[in-house]
Structures are given as structure tokens and as C-alpha cells.
Structure 1
Amino acid sequence: MITLFTFGPGLSLPDPSPFVTKTDVLLKMSGLSYQTQSGSIFSAPKGKLPYIDDDGHKVTDSTFIRAYLEDHYNIDFDEGYSSTQKALAWAVEKMLEDHLYFAVQALRWENDANFERGPAEFFRGVPAPMRAGFKAMIRRRVSRDLHGQGMGRHTPDEQFELARRDIDAVAELLGNKPYLLGDAICAADATVFAFLLGTLCPRFESALRRYTEQHKPLVAYVERMMERFYPDFTGCKKA
């Protein structure tokens, strides 16, 4: 059986990582039997989650996991769509994973209030005498990575302007369709849903969340996906 290694529910989300949520949704879409298990970046094959273990065969990275499921189990997540539509879906995925992701990371980790609302929870298991120093070290490391990637070099207002364009692009492409490409769900919907869900998370206060909430079709899309894949999860609903 396939085992998906995750962080587990947190930050009022099914999983704090959109990449884990994406993979979980893909597995739900596949119809395959699988189980989830709490994982650790310290024991993960590439030092990151998610990864899967399929009877001893480990696959890391959400994109490679998708490819493995398609190749090994002969699954076509994009059945019925043209090569042009599939290319568009891939471009949307990469925009969210390699651009929007870092803007959301910045507003969670570099904003003091949001850090205390969210990522600070990750350090509860650290012994009290070491906790403050360890939190500061990891936070500096995240900021260093954001600076190296480029998003961390911008002001919060500039980060919002960049991320806003991603949200506008997704809203324009989705329109009033039930799913990204049309009436049938595709693999990219797992990604779009996961990243919009994180952006809309009510735990965090941000101009980006408020802006995304103004796109009612995007909000309705996330609600539809939640009802389909996480009908019993209530953590990400507004109080």
C-alpha cells in the first residue's frame, strides 16, 4: 500500500504545506488505496515533505509523485484535455509553486504577528530553554532562502503586487468554470486548490488574503474542492 508522509493538520489547514495537500488530493483523485503518516524532514529522502513509500519504493516531490502514479498505475489525471490545455495547466502550476508560494511564505515567516499566529507553533516540541534560539535560527534560515530566491528582496507592498498578479491570472483562467480547464477536474486543480486554500487561510492577516477573498469565483472554487475532498474538515473556515 502507498503511504503518504505528511506534516499533518496544522495552521487551520489539512496540512501546512500546499505541496502535501496537492499530493493528498492527487491520491484521492487516483482512487488508489493509501494511508497517511506523520513524517519528518530530517528522515525524508530529500529533506522535504511530501514523499510516498509504495511497498518500499520511495518517491519524493509532489511533481515526481504525480508522474509515478501516472506511469506506475496508468492514471491519466488530465483525460479528455488537449495538449495545449495541459501546457496551460503546467504553466499555472509552476506559477503558483515557484512564485506565489514564496510570497505566502514571506507573509507567514517575515511578518512578526503572522509568525506568532502560525509558524511559531512548529517549535512547541522544542525544549523550552532552546526554543527561542532555535526559532530565531530557523526563521533566519527561511529569510535567507527567501532573499536568495528573490522574493525576500522586495518590500511587503512589492511582494503583494507580485502575488496579486498570480491571483488575477488564476481568476481570469478559471472564470466561472467548475475546474481550471473545464467541467472535468485535472491534476493542476490539486495544485490550484492547495495554494488558494493556503492564501485564504483565516489564521493569517494579509492584504493578499483580503484581495483573494474579493474574487468570489475563487472562494467558491476552494469551497467546492473542500466539500469534495475534505468534507469533514472545518479548520480553515472563518469563525
Structure 2
Amino acid sequence: MSEQQDTKWKAEFKKDVVYLHVIPRSRARAVVNISPYAIKLELWLRINNIPFETIDCQAFSKKGQSPFIMFNKEEIPDSNFIIEFLSEYFSVNPFPGLNATEKAVARAFIKMVEENTSWPIFIYRYVENIDEYSEYFSPDQPVEVRKQILGKLQEWVGKRAHGHGIGRHSSEEVQKVGCDDIQAISDFLGQKKFMMGDNPTVVDCSVFGVLSQVVYVPMGYPMRKYIMEKCPNILQLFDRLKNTYWTNWDEECKM
């Protein structure tokens, strides 16, 4: 292990246990974690009964990302690469029962949700409404400290959004992008049990991870209003996932 890895590794560990390092959960209020990708990954581990331990961690991976895992003395970053690695190691199919065409659709939805739908959420809370978001960010810290951190994030996220391209649009246009994506998710889900059919896949984990940030955080997100008023099937999907795979979700949100 490198010296950097030593600072992240537990003094004691068990073989074949995933040590899931996430942004400290104390930074979140009303949702388990402020990172959609941490929630996505933990849900996937739960669905597939892979042994894991969640560890609050201020540090980032060697790629500068969070979450990351430490597994059998190896650091693995990026939720999608982590799922790919663990699927092979534990002989788990991330897309059970899907043919090649359905896997292609699944990949397209994952990329849309994680690389497009997420941006209107980040822009709303980190760029345009940091005063409102300060009520749900690091509730264990004084308000002044929260706003100082969010002020730094405001500049950083704003620059990234502008570089991405979505940050060049008006607020109304950005939120329309998010709501259009939500409608596409709802239309495709329809009356199915899960996004791709009878079995949960990585797609459900991505959708839950990203949209949980608006569904469970009672801010003035236009995307939240859209889901609540027009997409009951998404809310039903979330209840199904929580009640089946994350039964202590509400308790963890209070941590």
C-alpha cells in the first residue's frame, strides 16, 4: 500500500469486506449522504448482499473522488468502476436478466442520470440557493461555518457547470433539463416494479442516489415539485427500494 492509502485504511480489516469510504454522513440532513454516488453504491451493495462497512472519510480517492472503497488492501475509486470490479469478484450480474439491447438502454439511463440529471440539483443547491441549502448541509456545524464552506463550493461548482455547458443556461432552462429527464425516467418506468423490469439493477441505484437528493430534502427544488405532483411511480419505486433493501433509511437520516 502507498503512504496515502495507509492514512485511509483501517487498522483492522476483514478479507472480502468492502470498506465504503464516503463523505461524512454528518454533513447531510434529511438524506443519508450529500453524495448521490455514495447512496447509489451503498444501495447496490445492499441489493447484492455484499458485506460492507460504511466509513465517514474526509479524504478523497487517488483520483480525487468520493466515494471510494478499500478492498483487500486495494483502493478502488469511482462508483461505476467499483461496481464493475465487485461484480466480477463476487460473480454478481449488475444487470440481471437483461439482453444486450436492454443493457444498452440501462447504460444510457445511468449516464443521463449521473452526468445530466444531477447538474440541475447541484446548480440549485450549490450555486443559486446556498442560503436555503445551508439548513440541510453540515447541521452539526455553526451556520457561519456552513455558509463559508458553501461559498467555496459555489465558486467551484459554478465553474464546473460552466465548463460542462449546462451552467451557461438560465436557471429556468437548467431546471427544465432536470424535469425533462425526470419525465423520461417516469415514462420509462411506467408500471414496472423496477426501472428495467422485475429485478433491481444499477439503474435503480443511480436513479435513487441522484433523485433522493430532491425527494427527501424539502427544499424548493422545481424537480422535487415535479416529482411530487406528476410522478407518483418514482415515489413508489423509492418506497419499494427503501422498504426492501434499506429498512433503516429513516434512522440513518437522523444520524
Q: Which amino acid aligns with 1:20?
A: A
How far did 1:132 drift?
5.8
Kindly tell me the number of residue pairs found equivalent between the two proteins: 233
Superposed CA offset, 1:151-193 (max 9, x none): 2222211111111110011001100111011111112111111
Q: 2:53 aligns with which of 24, 29, 35?
A: 35
Question: What's the TM-score once normalised by structure 2's chain length?
Answer: 0.83
Sequence identity percentage = 22
- Name the counterpart of 2:141: 124
Partner of residue 99, structure 2: 82
CA-CA distance at 1:141 after TM superposition: 1.3
Question: Quick one: which amino acid aligns to residue 23 of structure 1?
Answer: L
Matches of 2:73 and 2:98 in 1, distance apart? 33
How far has the Cα of 1:77 moved from its partner? 2.2
Cα root mean square deviation, aligned: 2.3
86-95 vs 106-115, which moves further = 106-115
SS at match of 1:75: coil
Correspondent of 1:94 among 101, 106, 111: 111
Residue 229 of structure 1 deviates from its aligned partner by: 2.3
Extract unaligned runs of 5+ from structure 1.
none
Q: 1:15 maps to what in 2? A: 33
| Preserved contact between residue 21 and residue 67 of structure 2 (Cα < 8 Å) | yes
SS in 2 for 1:188: helix
Correspondence for 2:178 among 153, 160, 163? 163
Unaligned 5+ segments in structure 2 are 1-16
Cα distance between partner residues in 1 of 2:147 and 2:174: 27
Give the partner amino acid of 1:198. Q
TM-score, structure 1 length as denominator?
0.89
2-structure distance, mates of 1:207, 1:134: 24
Partner in structure 1 of residue 216 of structure 2: 201
Shift of 1:133: 5.2
- Aligned amino acid, residue 223 of structure 1: D
1: distance between equivalents of 2:190 and 2:118? 22
Cα distance in 2 for residues equivalent to 1:31 and 1:45:
27
| 2:202 pairs with 1:223 | no
Q: Which residue of 2 aligns with 1:179?
A: 194
Matched residue type, 2:19: T
Distance in 2 between residues matched to 1:131 and 1:17, nearest whole Å:
17
